[in-house]
Chains A and B, each alone.
Chain A
Amino acid sequence: MIAGLLDMASWGLVLAGSLVILVGTLGLLRLPDLFTRLHGTGMTDTMGAGLLVLGMLLQTTDWLIAVKLVLILVFLAITSPTTSHALASAALYGGLTPWRLSDRKDEP
């Protein structure tokens, strides 16, 4: 009974995480320029990865695996904003002008 409930919660979390990643990817495709697209990817590696790892945590009884899963989140929490910042600052110094609402034309 308890195992079944845990399994269901785990599946719910994994599916929710997948949904967040799907929406983040959709943002990557739909948003107009590099800077706005970064916000879409920001979703996948914060809440998307977080929900997936949470779901996987409910599947394990081994504390060593649990610690490793949490470590993935810790490393991701440090590396993902670092890479986002590196991308944004490289694009800024490279002379890319951020897209503004006033640039909007020929949209259906």
Chain B
Amino acid sequence: MRHALSLFLILFGLWLIMSGHYLGWLVALGAASAALTVWIARRLEAIDHEGHPLHLAWRGMPYWGWLLVEIVKSNIDVARAILSSPAAIDPSVFKIKAGQRDELGWAVHANSITLTPGTVTMAIDADGTFTVHALTRASRQGVESGEMDRRVSRLMGEA
């Protein structure tokens, strides 16, 4: 029920931002469509135990900032690899063990790896082992250094 309520508030807030209408009956229609969506989501059992980790948006500010810098750096690396010659790439597949305890932490970590160009998380095993594809040796070393792993653990409040 708590998650259904928070889903309603998020959907309705999004509706208000997207529509820009603040007339009484239009807002009522927006609230009604948000409620209908929540009802359908409940029937589909699409409202799960994970809820909406909005708290990470604020608490994660230092992490998102760090990730942004990493994304810019790896963009430059990948651009250089593309523009130089095919010889500049040395793709490899390797495994790392994620230090986070739950699925949300794994999702944040795996998506952060994929979000930085040059590395893509290909698979996640049940024990939190990621299979990662890297474009160059430098991008592989970036993941294997474990800095992102430590920062995500700190973000999740586990370290």
Binding site for B on A (CB under 8 A): 20, 23-24, 26-27, 30-32, 35-36, 38-40, 42-43, 46-47, 50, 64, 67-68, 71, 77-78, 80-82, 84-85, 88-89, 92, 98-101, 104, 107
Tell me whether A81 and B115 are in contact (CB under 8 A).
Answer: yes
Q: Which of B14, B79, B90, B91 contacts A20 (CB 8 A)?
A: B79
Asked if residues B135 and A36 are in contact (CB atoms below 8 Å), the reply is: yes
Q: Are A84 and B133 in contact (CB under 8 A)?
A: no
Contact B110 A47 (CB under 8 A): no
- Residues 98-128 of B, flagged 1 when their CB comes within 8 A of A and 0 if not, give 0000000000001110111111111100000
Contact A46 B133 (CB under 8 A): no
Q: Which one of B17, B119, B120 has the greatest number of beta carbons of chain A within 10 Å?
A: B120
For B14, the chain A residues whose CB sits under 8 A away are 71
Residues on B with beta carbons closer than 8 Å to the beta carbon of A32: 86
Q: Min CB distance, A101 to chain B, in Å?
A: 5
User: Closest approach, in angstroms, between the C-beta of B143 and any C-beta of chain A?
Assistant: 13
- Per-position contact with A for B32-50: 1 when CB-CB < 8 Å, else 0? 0000000000000000000
User: Is B111's CB under 8 angstroms from A81's CB?
Assistant: yes
Complex Cα spacing A101 to B83, Å: 17
B122 touching A39, Cβ below 8 Å = no
B89 within 8 A of A: yes
Cα A40 to Cα B88 in complex, Å, equals 14
Does the CB pair A23–B115 fall under 8 Å? no
B92 in contact (CB, < 8 A): yes
Closest-by-CB residue of A relative to B114 is A81
Q: Do A42 and B114 touch across chains, with their CB atoms under 8 A apart?
A: yes
Q: Which residues of B contact A (CB under 8 A)?
A: 14, 17-18, 20, 71-72, 75, 78-79, 81-83, 86-87, 89-93, 110-112, 114-123, 131, 133, 135
**Nearest residue in A to B135 (C-beta to C-beta)?**
A39
Instruction: A11 to B71: give the CA distance in the assembly, Å.
Output: 22
Q: How far is the CA of A80 from the CA of B93 in the complex (A)?
A: 21
Q: A23-B83, A47-B71, A67-B17 are in contact. Are A39 and B123 (CB under 8 A)?
A: no
In the complex, A85→B93 CA distance in Å?
14
- Closest B residue to A92 using CB positions: B122
Report B85 CB to chain A, min CB distance, Å. 9
Contact of A26 among B20, B83, B110, B121 (CB under 8 A): B83
17 additional A-B residue pairs with CB within 8 Å, beyond A20-B79, A68-B17: A23-B79, A24-B82, A27-B78, A27-B81, A31-B82, A32-B86, A35-B133, A40-B117, A50-B71, A71-B17, A78-B111, A80-B115, A85-B114, A88-B121, A92-B123, A99-B91, A104-B86
